[in-house]
Structure 1
Amino acid sequence: MATIFGETDWRSMSQEQRDLGLNNSAAVAGSAEMVNGWEQRSAAVRERHSAQLNLRYGPRDRNRFDFLKAADGGPTLVLIHGGYWQMRSKETLTWFAEGPMAHGINVALIGYTLAPEATMDEIVAEIHRGLDTLVEQLPALGGDPDRIIVTGWSAGGHLTAMALSHPKVKAGLAISGIFDLEPIRHSYLNVKLKLDEAMSRRNSPLLQSAGPAAPLALVVGGAELPQLRQQTADMAAFRASNGLPVSYEEIPGADHFSIMLELGSPTGRITTLIRQLFENV
């Protein structure tokens, strides 16, 4: 019998089916052109907010973050880029800061070392180190270190869930995230990630005994690949079953790329959810 999201049992799939079931770029026609457009718009935003870019938090080249100030002393949204932990950069997503910034929310974009130069353990540790440095520097940058929420798209959704345990993170919003790395480990993506079972499991929020108590909002597109929709729904069910605060929402008609328009717009659904999280933490 088919599941509500279509075929999502990766264990019963052939290698080709498993790979295609995770390949968002192949699934969305024109996705490369969309991302190129993001990068062009992001470059323009960076020119307008150039005062606090590429602030260092660690020794590696991508151990940097950008801070875009919307309101002195205001809350800060940390935005983590996607790309299956092996491509893209913080610069890809800069323009999506415009949605939250229109409401006086500062935005910090944290970069991280990509696989295969970094393992998943190291990537997760870098995000936590980036948060540590951001918290230390926020008073001088013009933000409130006691009002931080993390969001991320795709692989950044996974890293959002992993960052939820940071003591200064009040809540998270994961967009189209991966929460069980085992399908990733058995796909083409593992050529660069080089996950073994132990590393996969300790970095899979869905495979932990419980999870951080900070609220987590989960959002996925209604037109996304079945495995991603299933992972998001499973993560919501997992947190609910453990008595942890969680919300789940599908954006009707949104694919893995168009869903981000709901963050870039001041009136977008994801921007609204972020505002609500800040109001309640």
Structure 2
Amino acid sequence: MLYQVTDWDDAYANGIHIPRGDDFPARWEAEASAFRATARRQDLGRGDLFLPEGTAKGLAIFIHGGFWMRTSPATWSHLAAGPLVQGWAVAMPGYTLAPKARISQMTREAAEAISLAAERVPGPLTITGHSAGGHLAARMICDDGTLPNAVAARIRCCLPISPLSDLRPMMRTAMNDTLAIDDTEAATESPALLTPRSGIPITTWVGAAERPEFIRQARLLADIWAGLGAATDCVIEPGLHHFDIIDGLTRPDSPLTRTLLA
């Protein structure tokens, strides 16, 4: 069956294709606020570090989405709950949003925040992120020096959720009026066009009810990086869409949390 995108803005639009999609932002804010009221939290400058009771088993990193233009780590604090119950610290780095920053600057800022958090929490690291944050999660393990070698050597899993792994389609959307991605930035900031560091397993994770482009982008990264020698998998979780695919991180026993911490 032929697949062709004719409306690139609609291809990456989520809320209008999700039942009661407009209700999700308020729910996220409420759940995040309630979580932050009782969490053990440290300031990362841009972002937060949440600490479990006792000595942390390691550090899980979640990078937020919002098409590089919207939201902040505070909106997603509740997603630290699952790893925290499992005894892991959770860092949620922030980054300057477009149009104040280009994506290349966001990559550098996320790497700096992750390096800072890694100094505070010893042990293994795992990295995840959602949508644009999934792009940045994958970007952190590209073999171009984005992360310092000492930090990258501690990473034992990268789990991009609904990742935007190839930025070239974004150039065809109205969002690019704000993002200002050009051919050069697409080539240097698209994980699917770069080489992953060796030895880090990658699992892309996406909902079966997501827009076809997000499923394609998740498969694309896993397939291309498998061809470059990485250990990859692509999980398409039945029944979930772009806004609830991340809910598994709130539960310590969900397949998503277990895969991130395995």
TM-score (norm 1): 0.85
* Superposed displacement of residue 273, structure 1: 0.7
Structure 1 segments of 4+ aligned residues over 6 angstroms from their partners: none
Give the residue type in structure 1 aligned to 2:163.
G
Match of 2:197 in 1: 212
TM-score (norm 2): 0.91
Question: How big is the alpha-carbon RMSD for the aligned residues of Structure 1 and Structure 2?
Answer: 1.4
Match of 1:259 in 2: 245
Corresponding residue pairs, total: 251
* Superposed displacement of residue 51, structure 1: 4.1
* Structure 2: 5+ residue stretches without partners: none
In 2, Cα distance between the equivalents of 1:158 and 1:198?
17
Match of 1:48 in 2: 38
Q: Which moved more, 1:262-271 or 1:191-200?
A: 262-271
Q: Is the 8 A contact 1:265 1:271 kept in 2?
A: yes
Q: Quick one: percent identity of the two aligned structures?
A: 29
Please list, as runs of the form range in 1=range in 2, the aligned pairs for 1:102-251 lying within 5 A after superposition.
102-136=85-119, 138=120, 143-144=121-122, 146-165=123-142, 166=147, 167=149, 168-169=151-152, 170=155, 171-208=157-194, 210-213=195-198, 214-251=200-237
In 1, Cα distance between the equivalents of 2:47 and 2:243?
23
Q: Is the 8 A contact 1:261 1:268 kept in 2?
A: no
Question: C-alpha deviations, 1:131-180, integer Å up to 9, x for none?
Answer: 222223x1xxxx21x41111101100000000114232412110001000
* Structure 1: 5+ residue stretches without partners: 57-63, 277-281
SS at match of 1:266: coil
Give the residue type in structure 1 aligned to 2:28.
W
In 2, Cα distance between the equivalents of 1:19 and 1:239?
27
In 1, Cα distance between the equivalents of 2:51 and 2:94?
18
Q: Is the 8 A contact 2:44 2:93 kept in 1?
A: no
SS at match of 1:149: strand
In 2, Cα distance between the equivalents of 1:134 and 1:261?
24
Q: Which of 69, 73, 76 is the equivalent residue of 1:90?
A: 73
